Structure 1
């Protein structure tokens, strides 16, 4: 069971799972803090500001929220503050708690933080790391994507859609695969919605565009449209109505 606790201080407002971590302070959200303790395992580039850290609660992923696109040049990592519960970090933390409670395969949330900067705020999130996992994009690049894996992805998405769980950016980078199963990560701006065919189909279309953009159609030729995607959709429909 999750034990949500809030701590407020000069370093920001922190929401954390006290059942997993008895105490969290602002240092937890600093990659430099973990680097100085030889606990920063990696810090890949990219807009997400992601770092892999070795915490007392186990290996975790620290993500700093950053904007993308043209607006990033103006606002960078700042968001308009409209209330503590409406910050992106707190909303994602609580959504992950609920998805975990429903038994859906997501990384358990450990802690989140936001820091006020006048009328704006910056934010961070720490989640448990899924061990020995590769993204679906990496599996595609390695030539390991096939009809069997496509079916598993279709089943995965259907599990979330049955619960009304909408992923705002369903793409091949946000699907993880390991020996234990498949997972969805990065639920920033995600939410629980009333089940409806329109948003479900839009979610799937976004995933398909991602796979094509990453070269699935180029790598497989006609096989992608004739076998892989139909296999995904067939298993999705079967699982959705199971």
Structure 2
């Protein structure tokens, strides 16, 4: 389904939203205190500084405030260098989510994003539809529930995105969700649509592999992990990629 994109000016910045999700979005939508006053806020750990779950007129949503990671976070915090409206993190991510939805791929539903200018810098927020009753691949691994059947499903969903040219900038076990309705990829900050090429596709897969190993997937040894989990994942990935 194509996103019905609308942009409206907001104090010190602008809001981009999907009019199909809600015909009106204002700056209050990005303020946790606004939802808290209405009994429509609950927080949930995850991401840098956590995320908020809010009940909006567009349905239950995840509210994310963009924050930097690594060493630069101490200097910049939640500020990013301004280089134009269309290059803000939120505008780029929401539009990519719109493409993902249009392609029929399982990702978060795009709702709205906002940026606020601070001279040469800006800060930003993102609202996406919440995927109900979902757990991360990392949580499944911690619970001892990562088996070859799940590995096959993970390989299949990644291949579907790669086949469409969707590059995930941080494909790790925390950004793969498992729900009753299927598997999803989330957190497309800095992601983009590219010409499908083996090099970036394989680099994406290796990033996921490193994440799984770091989280203890090779508890019985890396050779055992490769022979079961990773082989199952890659075999299905290759099969789906060439469909």
Q: Distance in 1 between matches of 2:17 and 2:74?
A: 31
Q: How many residues are aligned here? A: 242
Partner residue of 1:170? 171
1 CA distance for matches of 2:159 and 2:73? 33
Change (3 A) 1:67 1:219: farther
User: In structure 1, what is the equivalent of residue 182 of structure 2?
Assistant: 181
Q: How do residues 110-129 of structure 1 correspond to structure 2 at under 5 angstroms?
A: 110-129=111-130
Q: Given the two structures, how large is their TM-score scaled by the length of structure 1?
A: 0.97
Inter-CA distance 46–154: structure 2 relative to 1 (3 Å threshold):
closer
Match of 1:143 in 2: 144
Q: Is the 1:134–1:176 contact (alpha carbons within 8 Å) kept by the matching residues of 2? A: yes
CA distance in 2, matches of 1:43, 1:154: 28
Give SS of 2:122's match: strand
4+ runs of 1 displaced by more than 6 Å?
Answer: none
The answer to whether the 8 A contact 1:48-1:65 is kept is: no
The corresponding residue for 1:52 is 53
Partners of 1:48 and 1:166 lie apart in 2 by 25
Q: Does structure 1 retain, via aligned residues, the 8 Å contact 2:148–2:228?
A: yes
C-alpha RMSD of the superposition: 1.3
For the pair 1:7 / 2:26, whether they are aligned, the reply is no
More displaced, 28-37 or 117-126?
Answer: 28-37
Contiguous gaps of at least 5 residues in structure 2:
none
Report the 3-state secondary structure (helix = DSSP H, G, I; strand = E; otherwise coil) of the residue aligned with 1:82.
coil
When normalised by structure 2's length, the TM-score is 0.96
Deviation at 1:219, TM superposition (A): 5.7
- The verdict on how the C-alpha distance between 1:148 and 1:43 changes in structure 2, with shifts beyond 3 A counting, is closer
Q: Which runs of 5+ in 1 are unaligned?
A: none
Corresponding position of 2:25: 24
